[in-house]
Amino acid sequence: MTAFGALLRRELLRQARQPTRIIASVGTPALIWIFFAAGFTSINLGMDTSMRTFLVPGIASMTVLFASVFGAISLIQDRQDGFLRAALVSPAPRLSIAGAKIAAGALIATLQGLIVLLILPLTGAPVTALGLLGAAGILALISAALIGLGLTLAWRVDSTSGFHGVMNTVLMPLWLLSGAVFPIETAAPWLSTLAKANPLTWAHEAMRHALGMNPDANHTLAWAITIAASLAGAAAATATIGRSRD
């Protein structure tokens, strides 16, 4: 088995042996969807899609956000436990350390996101296999982007409690400002402009287009920006992990 394969297996075993983490990653967003959908039930934002349907892709990306947070925290724990140093002094390519964390995190996050997307039929929205396949692709790309970003930020943070500050000031605003919970077209112009600079906004556009919720979206541009963001996130993490923190 290659170093990458062995590290990937480790990450997946760790995930499988922490079932409460998996439940929390899906359960919390599902609860948030229930509360938001119930809370916004009488709000009409002038869309063809109901608010409860509109929220589902955003909630699916929230599971990815949580996966990125857990991935970043696992990097901090690996450093605290000494595992990371043992891996860094081994002949294993440093690329494989970040690569395994991103690959395992993206795999788990995509599966969790797909579970959340299964809410869609409950909202009355038509879902096709092709639509789910496209959404899974976007979820995988968002995972790579957010987990890469999370790992990059976590590299300079010494404690898991310190990373919660990073999450609250960087990752959560990034998600909130992405059309996850409200359509950016009807937002204040300044907010809409800001949201369009956020790659996650375009990922939501692409996912909603794949699921047939936004047929007029510029999906080619949305996919291109999402792919670029995922490559940037993964590249940032692989370039950062292994670099001296002194």
Partner 1 sequence: MPAIDLTNITAGYPGKPRPALSGVTLRADRETVALLGPNGSGKSTLMRVLTGLHTPEAGRVVAPNDRADFSVVFQSPAVDDLLTVRENLTLAAALHGANKAAANRRIEALTDPLGLADILGTRCATLSGGQRRRADLARALMPAPKVLVLDEPTTGLDIDARARFWQTLDSIRATEQLTVLLATHLADEAERCDRVALLREGGLIADASPSELRAPLGERAARIDLRPGHSDQPVRTWIDACDADARWWSAGAIIPNADARLIDTCPMDHATISLGAPTLEDAYLWHTAEESVAIT
AA identity, residue 192: S
Establish if 19 lies at the interface with partner 1 (CB under 8 A): no
Q: How far is the CB of 94 from partner 1 (least distance, A)?
A: 11
The H helix count followed by the E strand count for the chain is 11, 0
Distances, alpha carbon 227 to alpha carbons 31, 85, 183, 204, 220, in Å = 29, 31, 22, 13, 11
Q: Name which position in 27, 39, 85, 159 contacts partner 1 (CB under 8 A).
A: 85
| For partner 1, the closer CB: 95 or 194 | 95
Establish if 18 lies at the interface with partner 1 (CB under 8 A): yes
| For partner 1, the closer CB: 6 or 224 | 6
Query: Quick check: 148 and 234 in contact, CB under 8 A?
Result: yes
- CA-CA-CA-CA torsion sign (13, 101, 176, 136): negative
Q: Name which position in 19, 82, 124, 189 contacts partner 1 (CB under 8 A).
A: 82
**HSE-CB of 167 using CA atoms within 13 angstroms:** 18
Q: Name which position in 20, 42, 44, 244 contacts partner 1 (CB under 8 A).
A: 244
| For partner 1, the closer CB: 46 or 91 | 91
Q: Tokens in use for 58?
A: 């955003």
Establish if 83 lies at the interface with partner 1 (CB under 8 A): yes
Closest CA to 67 of 10, 24, 25, 111: 25
The one segment of 82-90, 129-137, 183-191, 228-236 that binds partner 1 by CB under 8 A: 82-90
Q: How far is the CB of 10 from partner 1 (least distance, A)?
A: 6
Query: Quick check: 201 and 223 in contact, CB under 8 A?
Result: no
Residue with tokens 């970003």: 149
Q: How far apart are CA 49 and CA 143, in angstroms?
A: 26
Query: Quick check: 235 and 149 in contact, CB under 8 A?
Result: no
Establish if 89 lies at the interface with partner 1 (CB under 8 A): yes
| For partner 1, the closer CB: 89 or 197 | 89
Query: Quick check: 46 and 124 in contact, CB under 8 A?
Result: no
Establish if 6 lies at the interface with partner 1 (CB under 8 A): yes
Q: How far is the CB of 129 from partner 1 (least distance, A)?
A: 35
CB burial of 56-79 (b: ≥16 within 10 Å; e: otherwise) equals bbbbbbbbbbbbbbbbbbbbbebb
Q: How far is the CB of 90 from partner 1 (least distance, A)?
A: 4
Q: Name which position in 23, 35, 39, 86 contacts partner 1 (CB under 8 A).
A: 86
Q: How far is the CB of 232 from partner 1 (least distance, A)?
A: 27
Establish if 166 lies at the interface with partner 1 (CB under 8 A): no
Residues lying near partner 1 in the complex (CB under 8 A): 1-3, 5-7, 9-10, 13-14, 17-18, 81-83, 85-92, 244, 246
